[in-house]
Structure 1
Amino acid sequence: MEILNPKYQVLSNLEVLMALREIKDQKLSQGARNLATITYETIQYLENTPCKDQSEINLLKFITEVKQFNKLTKSEVLSMVNEPPSLPLHIQLIVEDLEERLTESQVDELIQLSKKYLIPSTHDSRHE
């Protein structure tokens, strides 16, 4: 994974976790002790969020399929990636003016896409 322009790139929790794991694997100088601590603590936090069970492939599939909902903003899609919705209420909390922008069937479809690509099931479908 490569961050092209760190000043302007918005990253998902999965991308942050992957980048931090790369940093952790590098030999850090003695002066980088603070970076090592922050990296370790952030990895520990992210490994307790939904991103620990996500894959880059499924994240890209989700984003591609969600493009059909052209009324969603990039930040709303990112929020869904970081905290996958499993109920209509979750989408209502993410999408401002939901009733004016999405139909009930679109909300249901978003939940199904979230379950398909972002929320692990009892059988591991992350690598479909």
Structure 2
Amino acid sequence: MAAAPMALRGSPFFSSTGGKDGNAALLSNYEVYQLLTDLKQQRREMGRSKQTAGQQNLNTIMYETLKYLSKTPCRFQDPEVVQDFLVALKSHKLTKAEKLQLLNHRPGTAVEIQLLEGQKIES
């Protein structure tokens, strides 16, 4: 697999899924937000130059994605929050995709985690 972008190195979710595409990975909304924010900052530091239509399309995608993600809980996450969240989920039998879904939606209670696991909740 190619080297991970700087924002994703050490990421709890960035790893090969082992499917048909060996380079495929699961990324949390936080990781995508950080990657695009870092890329946007790098582009600012490089200065403005004439852009191709493809670069303009990429800028539009980046803008729209950042606009959407900035309205989600990932905007307030950091690597420590993500790590603490994953440690808290260790005792639950969830797949990587289910953990990612929970991280992206930040459930507020243990009940929401149990519902995802399919456990019977006793009153």
Decide which moves more: 24-33 or 1-10: 1-10
Q: CA deviation at 1:96?
A: 5.0
**Preserved CA contact (<8 Å) 1:14 1:51:** yes
* TM-score (norm: length of structure 1): 0.65
**Which amino acid in structure 2 is aligned with residue 44 of structure 1?**
K
User: 1:2 corresponds to which residue?
Assistant: 8
**Preserved CA contact (<8 Å) 1:17 1:46:** yes
* TM-score (norm: length of structure 2): 0.67
Identity %: 35
Q: 1:35-114 to 2 correspondence within 5 Å? A: 35-69=58-92, 71-87=93-109, 88-89=111-112, 92=115, 95=116, 97-99=118-120
Q: CA deviation at 1:72?
A: 1.4
Q: Distance in 1 between matches of 2:15 and 2:86?
A: 20
4+ residue stretches of structure 1 with deviation over 4 A?
A: 3-6
Q: Which runs of 5+ in 1 are unaligned?
A: 105-128
**Which amino acid in structure 1 is aligned with residue 36 of structure 2?**
L
User: 2:20 corresponds to which residue?
Assistant: none
**Preserved CA contact (<8 Å) 1:63 1:77:** yes
Q: Distance in 1 between matches of 2:101 and 2:15?
A: 21
Structure with higher RCO (Cα < 8 A, 6+ apart):
1
Q: Which runs of 5+ in 2 are unaligned?
A: 1-6, 17-22
Q: Deviations over 1:51-110 (max 9, x none)?
A: 1111111101111221122x1111111111000112435752xx15332xxx65xxxxxx
Q: Distance in 1 between matches of 2:71 and 2:83?
A: 21
DSSP-derived class of the 2:8 partner = coil
Please provide the CA RMSD for this pair. 2.6
Q: Distance in 1 between matches of 2:97 and 2:8?
A: 20
- Matched positions, count: 99
Q: Distance in 2 between matches of 1:40 and 1:47?
A: 10
User: 1:122 corresponds to which residue?
Assistant: none
Decide which moves more: 33-42 or 2-11: 2-11
Q: CA deviation at 1:25?
A: 1.8
